[in-house]
Structure 1
Amino acid sequence: MAKSIDVSDLNIYYGDFLAVEGVNMTITARSVTALIGPSGCGKSTFLRTLNRMHEVIPGARVEGKVLVDGQSLYDSAVDPVEVRRMVGMVFQRPNPFPTMSIYENVLAGLRLNNKKLSKSDADAVVEKALRGANLWNEVKDRLTKPGMGLSGGQQQRLCIARAIAVEPQILLMDEPCSALDPISTSAIEDLIHELKEQYTIVIVTHNMQQAARVSEDTAFFNLAGAGKPGRLVEMNPTKKIFSVPDEEATEAYISGRFG
């Protein structure tokens, strides 16, 4: 089910401004890849190109290739809505739909795709997704209650359940723990370890310890200065990045000398 991603010569623009330049990387299926680097270096911008959310911004565009199992995401014949179903996204702040119950939040993506479900099928999808997000036991007796009534960590796991309910192959996570307390962060990290058995996961994080804990590979992004494009400086197995990185700039960032 999970798929690999190959990125080659990727340039990302906002209008005429080149935001990220010349990214080449391979993201392995059924693994966690962490994107690290200082604020403003293009990590989240790059992440959004992997499910074509970048182009939703007026004037935004990309050059280069993003292939998922050999299929170009940006081929003219490819439906961006289908891409976003295949490549799920979890955002920095938990964003359950405020007017919806926990139950309806989980089903929101399927409803958006006009998928007709019987009550029994819907029940099965909700339970499977909530179990997959390690949330079922906490909410099974209050599925009709508002999703916004959950704690922050539970809301984020509800958003993960919503993302996996549509059965994507890839999960993108943009700083999913930055708004959470340490206990909720630990729960999300445990969940990431479980999810990588089924999904390819790419996570943006500013937390070096988190990157070291959850990922197999780490990509370090940086930029030469204000107004310059972000670049991929180095991508290597996480153990190597955090012990003997190839680039001096990577070592300087990880050791806290800048950023």
Structure 2
Amino acid sequence: MSKRIEINDLDIYYGDFKAVEGVTVDIEPRAVTAFIGPSGCGKSTVLRSLNRMHEVISGAWVDGEVLLDGANLYGPGVDPVNVRRQIGMVFQRPNPFPTMTIRENVLAGVLLNNRRMSKSDQDDLVERSLRGANLWNEVKDRLGVPGSGLSGGQQQRLCIARAIAVSPDVLLMDEPCSALDPISTLAIEDLIEELKTEYTIVIVTHNMQQASRVSDKTAFFNIAGTGKPGKLIEFDETAKIFSNPTVQATEDYVSGRFG
């Protein structure tokens, strides 16, 4: 399922405003890539451009390429809905559908895609997805209760189960632990480590320790000032970014001198 993403000379605009400029980076399959940098530097915008989620904001457009195993996600006639089936996203705050049960939450994306399934196939998918999100043992006896009744960490894992139920190739995570307590954060980090054996994972985080713990490669973004576009400053193996970066600005950020 896991696929490579190539970003080539990507500029991202909102109307006339250039939010991100000149990003080129290769994201490896079956690995975790972390995007780090100060607020407003464009890292979440780049993340959302990978499955065209940024287009929910009116006037958004891009120049450049985003390739998934060589196929341009911004090519003529490419349906953004199909892109989002291949590249799932987990957001900053857990967002299970409040009127749906745990079971219905897991199946929501699959049924929305008009896939007809027998009840036994649905049951199998629910169990497989919840096991994949390391949540099955905690909820298997209460699949009929609202997903919104779970704890914050469980809700986030439910959202991960919902994302992987549609069998994506890539999982994007936009600060998935920022609203969680340390115990729940550890559970999500352990889960990310397990999931990377099957998926390409890209995570945005403000937590330097988290980036160093969970990622194989790290991209550092920065911004020259208000109104300027965000830029990719340095991209390398995570160990090198945190121990011996090439660019002084990277050193300053990961050591806590700014940001």
TM, length-normalised to structure 1: 0.99
Would you identify which runs of 4 or more consecutive aligned residues in structure 1 move more than 2 Å? none
**C-alpha distance after superposition, 1:93-130 (max 9, x if no partner):** 00000000000000000011011110000000000000
- CA drift at 1:77: 2.5
Q: Within 5 A, what are the aligned runs for 1:1-259? A: 1-259=1-259
SS of the residue corresponding to residue 242 of structure 1 reads helix
- Count how many residue pairs are aligned between Structure 1 and Structure 2: 259
- CA drift at 1:57: 1.1
SS of the residue corresponding to residue 3 of structure 2 reads coil
SS of the residue corresponding to residue 243 of structure 2 reads coil
> Unpaired runs of 5+ in structure 1?
none
The amino acid across from 2:120 in the alignment is S
Distance in 1 (alpha carbons) for counterparts of 2:54 and 2:210: 25
Distance in 2 (alpha carbons) for counterparts of 1:46 and 1:187: 26
Distance in 2 (alpha carbons) for counterparts of 1:98 and 1:111: 17
**C-alpha distance after superposition, 1:175-221 (max 9, x if no partner):** 00000000000000000000000000000000000000000000000
The amino acid across from 2:32 in the alignment is V
The amino acid across from 1:205 in the alignment is T
**C-alpha distance after superposition, 1:135-185 (max 9, x if no partner):** 000000000000000000000000000000000000000000000000000
SS of the residue corresponding to residue 40 of structure 2 reads coil
RMSD: 0.5
Task: Quote the sequence identity (%).
Answer: 74
> Unpaired runs of 5+ in structure 2?
none
SS of the residue corresponding to residue 143 of structure 1 reads coil
The amino acid across from 2:7 in the alignment is V
Distance in 2 (alpha carbons) for counterparts of 1:133 and 1:53: 23
The amino acid across from 1:235 in the alignment is F
The amino acid across from 1:130 in the alignment is L
Distance in 1 (alpha carbons) for counterparts of 2:136 and 2:85: 23
